[in-house]
Every structure is written in C-alpha cells, then in structure tokens.
Structure 1
Amino acid sequence: MRFAILFPGQGSQCVGMGADLFDARPDLLGDAADEILGWSLRDVCLKGPEDVLTRTDRAQAALFALGYAAWAELSTCLDITPVAAAGHSLGEYAALTAAGVFDYRTALRLVSIRGAAMAAAADREPSGMAALIGVDEEEADAISAGRRADGGRMWVANINAPGQIVVAGGRADIDWIVARGRDLGVRRVIPLNVAGAFHSPFMATAASEVATALRDIAVGPFSFPVYANVTGRPYPEGQVADLLERQIVEPVRFAEALVNMNVDAFVHVGPGDVTAGMARKTVKDAAVMVAGDTTSLAAIAERLNEER
C-alpha cells in the first residue's frame, strides 16, 4: 500500500490532547522541550486553560511537538516507509522533521520563533480569516481581487478541498465577505476563530523573522518526499528555506498536494482529524486513517504492515 502521512496545523489543538504521548515519549515532550520553549508543554496541553493553549505561540509549538511524537511512535512499529508527506501550514514543519530534513530540537526552536513572529504580526492590526464554502479557487480569487480593487485587503489563503477555500484579510474585509458572500455566489461564509490573516501579506514581518532564523540551519536529505504548501509538489533540492519563508505569506495549496501524491491511503498523524477530512473530500477513492493516540497508532501500523 502506497501511503502518505499528513500533519495538522493550528486549530486542531484542544485541552487534554496527547496525554498518552506525554507518558510514552518524555524524551520528546518532557524537560528538553520545556527548556527550548521556556514554558511547560505538558501543563499547557493537559491543563490549558483554553485561552492559553489557543495562543498562536503556544498552539503551534504544542501541535508540532505532539504531531512529531505521534510519528516517532508510529514509525517504530512500521516495516514500511511512507511514499510522501505533507503538513497543513504549521504541520509542514512536522512533515519535514519526520522526513529527516530537520532534527526535532532544531525544528521545535524554529516553530517557537514562527509562532511568536506570527502572533506579533497578528497583533499589529485587526485581521482574520473566513472559509468560503461552495466556491473554487478561481471564484474566491476573483472575489478577493474585486475587494482589493475597491480598496480592501483580502487574499486566498488556503485551498483545502474542493469547494472549501479560506480567505484572509483585514477585519473590515472579513466582515464584508460575511455580509456579502451570498450575493457573490458563496453558499456559506464561516468566520474562523484565528488570531490574524495567516498566509497573506499581513504576515510579512513574520516571514522575514523566520527567514533570518532559517539562514544558518543545516538541512538534511529527505528520507521521503514532502509536498510543499506553496506549490503542492515535492520540495526541490535546496529550496527548504525559501519555501518555508514564502509559506507564511502565500496560500496553502493542500488540496493540490493531496492529489499530486498519487497514493492509496492517507494517515493523519497528531491531534484532531482535520487533514483526514480534507483527504476524504479531495481524493475520494483513497483510504483515510487517523493516528492520534498510542492505541490508534499501533492499530494503523499493524494494518499498514499487513497490506504492504
């Protein structure tokens, strides 16, 4: 069975997540992680409170650490290797680390810098995101371009699945699309509970900070292909830093990545099941599995080993 692993991004966090992984992988989730982050990963994940865990700087680090720890557990049980990997937004760092491009400690430091930089960018002015249901990328792009032509600031930010596009913009732009969406042919507009306009020019200062952090970091060879958010295709050699910088201000082309992988099965690795839902909607004939705790990880490893 040709399978790909998928890692979730910000929004998949919940208080209580990863309890069994903290017990199984103290080497990844214990004191060493806390030393890098400057706060207790275990306490924030297991005790919250929710308003602390959902902060961009906390949520990104927590989701990365738990996603990678879940992969570390799964990989020890596998007799086969994935043929591809991808992560949604923040999840791309877990995918790259799983593929051996970064070591875990280096990636956790990078994610900590990224989360803090994106939080600071979001704090500079009110902005947000909204999901547009029932339109394709071309239609969403035309709506966004029309808004910009009228003096607004709105861009396509995520292409998640057929008929599921996310836009990012200023607070007034999000209010505008919520009010006008139906008149513009959008079946439904869902404002998202996020801190800012991620994957848009609103994040330019964060992209610059991440680029600086990446400048002196060693990059290892890929043990399997990772599909980049920016292109929806495998990372070319020598472009890790460039694509990660661009990812912060450009759209996440997740649906394209899912199609281009050409696999029989997808395994969502880490908290929640968001990427599993995207895979089901995008590649309807593929098997989709969710590996979020040690019990499901062991069962999925057994299935993949049997069907190789």
Structure 2
Amino acid sequence: MNAAFIFPGQGSQNFGMGKDFYENSVKAKQLLENASDFCKIDFKYLLFEENDKLNQSEFTQPAIVLNSLMAYSVVLENVPDLSFKLALGHSLGEFSALAVSDAFSFLEVLSLVNKRGFFMQEDCAKIQAGMMVILGLDDILIEELCQKARKENKQIFPANYNCDGQIVIAGLKSDLADCENMFKNAGAKRVMLLNMSVASHCPLLENASNKLFVELEKVLKEDFKTVLSNVNAKAYSNKKEALALLKAQLVSPVLYKQSIKTCENEIDYFVEFGASVLKGLNKKISLKETYALTNMSDIDKFLKAVL
C-alpha cells in the first residue's frame, strides 16, 4: 500500500474502544491477552468497562497504543503481506508508529508507554501542569505571545501544531489561566483549558525525558522502517536518531501539520488506526483521503476501497 499509517495520541481514549476488534479477531484478542500478562494490567477491564484509570496517563497511554495495535492486527489478519510507505503518530502515537515499523515489539512498546505515562504524571503532579487549546490565531502570533508571557515569568509553551488555526499550549495551570484573556484579546476564536493533568511537549518534562531515554536504550532495535518525527517532521529509521528524537519529543512541540505536509506528496492516502481524531485534523491540512479504522465495519470498508 502506498500509504502513510498514522496513529492517535492521548485524548483519543474512550470506554469500549477496541471491543469490536477483541470480539471479532483472533489476533486482536490474543494481543490484548498477551499484553495484560506482559504489562500486569487488566486491559479488558481498562478498555471495556467504565473506570477511573483510563484517564490516568500511565494507563491511558498503553490503552491507546493497544487499541491502535489491535486495529493494525485486524488489518494484518486480512492482508498478511501488509506494507506501507511510512508511519507517523501524534505525540504518543509516534510510539505506535515505531511498533508497526519494527523498532520494538508490540509488548515492549506497551510496557514502554506505561512507564512514559508514569514519568510524565510524576513530573506534572509536583507542579500542577496542564494544557490549553487555542483556535483561530496564527502560529507565529501564538509563539510571540508565549514568549512575551515567559518574559513575565509565566511558564507557557506551544506544544501541538495540530492544523492551521489550532495550537495546543502547555504549562503551569495557573499561568495558562492567567494568560487566557491575552489570547482572546489577540483575536482567538476560542481558548479552552483541556481536561489534562500533564503538560506534554514542553521543558517542564525534562526529568521525564531523561528517564524515558534510559528505557528507550533497552528496547530500540538498531534499524527499522521509516517513521516521521514529531520533533522535526523528518524521516528517521535507526536507533541513534530515535534515541535523540524521542528524548527531545517530550520537551519539544509536536509538528503534526508539518509532518502531514511533508509526506502527502509521497503517498496516496492516510490510514488512522484506532480513532478518527487525526482524520478530522487531516481534512484541514491535506486533500488526500484519510481512512479512520475504529471498528470492524471501518476496516471492511477500507479493505474494499483499497484492495
């Protein structure tokens, strides 16, 4: 397939995700059960029943990655010689992209992002961090406003470049709240604090980044298929590059829209595994089709369209 396989990040979780895959695919069911044993997490409970853990970063992250990999496993079950041009993800999703690109095993990545989530939660619990979405302002203006706020000792940073007119910023919750009117007065259509207890992709996560580097060294393979980096929207495919980029990823903004623009001319379509969040963003970035695979019906329609 001349496709880019794309993978969603934190915020795409919901109760019941992956259940259709689990109930209708031998490979998906086997993956979930093996993951539960390997990670010592009851994923069946975590994904399929209402609980308090799903929105805690250390559990959210492996749950989302598992759901994406279950969707991928179903497609692989139907297309044993499945291939793709490149893979990328949004934030956490970059780890799913690395897993399908053979940078590490599916079980290793679930354990890895479980630790990643814990490290992030641990850092942010000490400082009351959060994230805020800003709609309707130019990237450069937001960067300038954040810089101005930092000169006044406010800890706020651009964190996700999602699409034109949509940026998420990260920082201390109190500073984000204090700066809300600054963005509104600059002409933002909407400014909204997100229901998140972490401040991803900013310098506040330096400790988590250092701890993650140690874990990455243990599991990354020397070479793997091409993945686009969130940090610079460029391709990489070896351990040395991955270690530097994934360490930087936690403290650097996600260049999602730049990544889509980088690869859209090389591929025929995008395939999102496990959610439809990125499909929504892609509509605002690229004219190329994005297939979002959230259940068995989506996968059936996708396979009929492309095979």
TM-score where L is the length of structure 2: 0.93
Alignment of 1:1-308 (within 5 A): 2-23=2-23, 24=25, 25-30=28-33, 32-49=34-51, 51-78=52-79, 81-223=83-225, 225-237=226-238, 238-261=240-263, 262=265, 263-270=267-274, 272-283=275-286, 285-305=287-307
Unaligned runs of 5+ residues in structure 2 are: none
Distance 2:160 2:132 in 1: 10
Which AA in structure 1 matches 2:142?
A: A
Q: What whole-Å deviation, never above 9, does each CA across 1:133-156 have from its counterpart, x for those lacking one?
A: 112321111111000001111110
The SS at the match of 1:222 is: strand
The SS at the match of 1:181 is: helix
Does the 8 A contact of 2:223 with 2:237 survive in 1? no
The SS at the match of 2:283 is: helix
Does the 8 A contact of 1:14 with 1:45 survive in 2? yes
Q: What whole-Å deviation, never above 9, does each CA across 1:218-244 have from its counterpart, x for those lacking one?
A: 415333x21111111111533111111
C-alpha displacement of 1:39: 2.1
Does the 8 A contact of 1:121 with 1:203 survive in 2? yes
Distance 1:75 1:213 in 2: 28
Q: 1:56 to 1:80 in 2, by over 3 A?
A: closer
Which AA in structure 2 matches 1:230?
A: V
Q: What whole-Å deviation, never above 9, does each CA across 1:98-149 have from its counterpart, x for those lacking one?
A: 1111111111111111011111112111111111111232111111100000
The SS at the match of 2:272 is: strand
Distance 2:284 2:56 in 1: 29
Unaligned runs of 5+ residues in structure 1 are: none
- Percent of residue pairs identical: 27
Aligned residues: 300
Does the 8 A contact of 1:276 with 1:289 survive in 2? yes
Does the 8 A contact of 2:162 with 2:257 survive in 1? yes
Distance 2:179 2:107 in 1: 41
C-alpha displacement of 1:295: 2.2
Q: What whole-Å deviation, never above 9, does each CA across 1:202-259 have from its counterpart, x for those lacking one?
A: 1111111101111222415333x21111111111533111111111111000001101
| The 10-residue stretch of structure 1 (182-191 or 255-264) with the greater mean CA deviation from structure 2 | 182-191
Distance 2:237 2:136 in 1: 33
Does the 8 A contact of 1:74 with 1:298 survive in 2? no
Which AA in structure 2 matches 1:228?
A: S
Q: 1:16 to 1:236 in 2, by over 3 A?
A: closer
Which AA in structure 2 matches 1:147?
A: A
Which AA in structure 2 matches 1:137?
A: D
The SS at the match of 1:22 is: helix
TM-score where L is the length of structure 1: 0.93
Q: What whole-Å deviation, never above 9, does each CA across 1:261-280 have from its counterpart, x for those lacking one?
A: 1233111111x311111111
Which AA in structure 2 matches 1:55?
A: Q
Which AA in structure 2 matches 1:256?
A: Q
The SS at the match of 2:247 is: helix
Does the 8 A contact of 1:137 with 1:165 survive in 2? yes
Does the 8 A contact of 1:266 with 1:286 survive in 2? yes
